[in-house]
Structure 1
Amino acid sequence: MNLCKGVCERFEVKIKGQNIKYENNQKRCPVCEIFMICLDVRCPCCSCVLRVTPRANKARKSFHKRRNESRH
């Protein structure tokens, strides 16, 4: 079981904005419950896999649509 050790506070991002967090390369740790900018796939605090896309269906579709538009 992964537990937050408080190390993640150094990586936490305090930027406002609901829908653009993932587009700004921020990742979310489901255990520590924070958004952070980290190059790793896992959280440096609890070693849990970081989320890189929204979970909500509407937000996820919007995210993928904007990402595909920027690639073309």
Structure 2
Amino acid sequence: MDAERELREAVNGMLDSLDAVVKTYGGLDPYLLVDLISEQIEFSHDRIEAVIREEASKRAIPLLPARPQTQH
């Protein structure tokens, strides 16, 4: 199984398991999902967040807005 497909399957599995949370609270915190998924699969947090946002948008799941980028 290629890594990108494995990531998408992990994200979709997580979204499936949190369906009741979405119905109860009306949305999800993608940063919590990034932390949970990054413990299972080795990807950058930015890539995991991007896939979460893509897959959640397909399901019309509201997510917290993206964190603003900080400049150093």
Assess same fold via TM > 0.5.
no
Whose RCO is larger (CA < 8 A, sep 6+)?
2
Q: Report which of the two has the higher share of helix.
A: 2
Structure 2 length-normalised TM: 0.29
Q: Report which of the two has the higher share of strand.
A: 1
Larger-gyration structure (1/2): 1
